[in-house]
Structures are given as structure tokens and as C-alpha cells.
Amino acid sequence: MATVFLNGEYLPAEQARVSVLDRGFLLGDGVYEVIPVYNGLPFRLTPHLNRLQRSLDGVRMANPHSIEGWQKIIERLVADNGGGDQSVYLQVTRGVAPRDHVFPEGVSPTAFVMSNPLKAVPESFKTAGIKAITVDDIRWAQCDIKAITLLPNSLLRQKAQDVGAQESLLIRDGYMTEGSASNSYAVIDGVIFTAPKDEKVLPGITRDLVLELAQSAGIAYREQAVSLAELQQADEIWISSSTRELLPVTMLDDKPVGSGKPGPVWQQVDRLYQRYKQEGKV
């Protein structure tokens, strides 16, 4: 049984208990991170912990641990769960208090971390690409905060699942924001387009690396959202996340994207991404 961390203790997952009065449970009042671990080493850990701080600031919650404190917890949990490739899930809620919309005073946050084996992405997702659908972005107006309130994301992701697609690409006011659980990209005439880091998208850690790698290879990119019409004509479409890395979308709303195969720009950037990982860079 996996070991988890809950409020200072390391214990078997089935023994970890949170109060029914926890504001995460009652109000969805919390934030989270998902951090990939390759070969026992957390990938891009500091940027993830910086984004956690940003999310906590965004919801006016104190950080229960310093960066070094979180690093130690995560290192120990990854080791206790056998190293290798894992996916660390970290959640902080405002804590346990009588139900009230107003923030309670003097309450300690609930800090929870678990780590599960990283699910391998099916090989066909990379060789043939994935299917995506476009849906209205029905989420709130602060999608840059990694809040645990994922009901809209979950509803939108399920719509993809229902029609045998692997991701929903979200359209707000006629423009693509991101995926239901990923950042998204369109390649048009050799230029990578991805929505700018504003309140409409999560500032993805994988997205930052994808753009860094593109820059290092001299591939042009623009942090500019594409319209639905541009998306439908794009040569390539991709998604990225900590758990799925960088995947090509080859079918959009049942129509082939570009050639209908993973495109050359994706292949180039994915090669750089895989090399970066294999070199043990973190």
C-alpha cells in the first residue's frame, strides 16, 4: 500500500483521514500540483513549487511549508514508494472549520501529498496521435490558479471520453484557451502558437519547457491564442501536461489535422523533450 503524507505524518494511504469539515471537501477551497518523477527525481520541482505559491497567494492561503520543506517531503515520499517514474499529487486546503463562506481565522491548512506510479502514455498516442474535440470553455475566470475545484474540467474531459477522444480543447469567445487538463498549441506555417499566460489558462510547467526547447532549436513561437477557424486549418495541434508530456492531436472533431499524422514540428520538439529527460535534467 502506498505511503502518503498528511499534515506532518507519513502513513499508509488507507489510514490517512481528513475531517468531513475540511474546506476542501465542503467548498473545494484548496489548490494543488501534479509533479512528474523520472527515475526517482522530481522533474522541474522548483517551478512547480513556485506555481503552488502563486496559487496559494491567489486564494489568500498561507503556505504550510517552505520550498525546502516541500522538497524533503516529496523526496522522502518518492523514495518510500519505490523510486522510478511516479506522479506526485500535492494538495493544500484552507483546513477544518465550521462551514462558512467567509475564511476562518486561526485554522491550519491541510497538507496532503501522494505519489503513484506514472501511467505510461500508450505508444499509439505518439505514433498515430490522439483525438480531440472542441468544446465551450465553461470554467471560471481565474484558470491561472490551480484550484482543486475541477468539476468543469472533469465534465469537459468526460465529453471527450464519451466520443472516444483523449482531450477536449476549450474555446472561449472564439479562441482556444487550453485543454481540459493540458495546455494546447497549434502550428501554422511552421510557427507554434499557444495562448498567452493570462487568467484564462494554467501557466503549465511543461508549456514553459516546450517553449524553451523550441527557442533553443530556433523554432518560432508566438504566445497568442488561435481562433477556432485557425485551429481547424492548423498544420499541427498538440497538447502538453506533466502526466502526458507532449502529444500530437491528429483528429479534431472527427477531421484529420494537417496530414492526419504527427507533424514534423511536433517530432522535432518531442525529440528534444525526450533527450532533455534522458540526460537526467530536472
Q: Which residues bind ligand PDD (CB under 6 A)?
A: 34, 153, 178, 181-183, 202, 204-207, 240-243
Question: What is the crossing angle of helices 264-278 and 205-216, to 10°?
Answer: 110
Distance CA 133, CA 252 (A): 5
Strands 41-42 and 191-194: unpaired
Is 72 tagged catalytic?
no
Output the smallest distance, CB 178 to ligand PDD, in A: 5
Strands 167-172 and 130-136: parallel
How open is the CA angle 237-178-144, to the nearest 5 degrees? 150
Alpha-helical regions (H) of 31-186: 45-58, 67-80, 123-127, 151-162
What the block records as the C-alpha cell of 46 is 522548483
Residue that has been written with the C-alpha cell 504527427 in this structure: 262
- 110 or 182, CB closer to ligand PDD? 182
Half-sphere exposure of residue 54, counting CA atoms within 13 Å on the CB side? Answer: 17
Distance CA 146, CA 58 (A): 9
Residue that has been written with the C-alpha cell 529527460 in this structure: 277
- 20 or 120, CB closer to ligand PDD? 120
Q: Are 219 and 269 in contact (CB under 8 A)?
A: yes
Distance CA 194, CA 222 (A): 7
Of 146, 159, 197, 281, which is the active-site residue?
A: 146
**Closest by CA position to 248, among listed 222, 221, 234, 266:** 266
Q: Are 208 and 201 in contact (CB under 8 A)?
A: no
Output the smallest distance, CB 155 to ligand PDD, in A: 13
- 131 or 207, CB closer to ligand PDD? 207
Give me the active site residues, please: 146
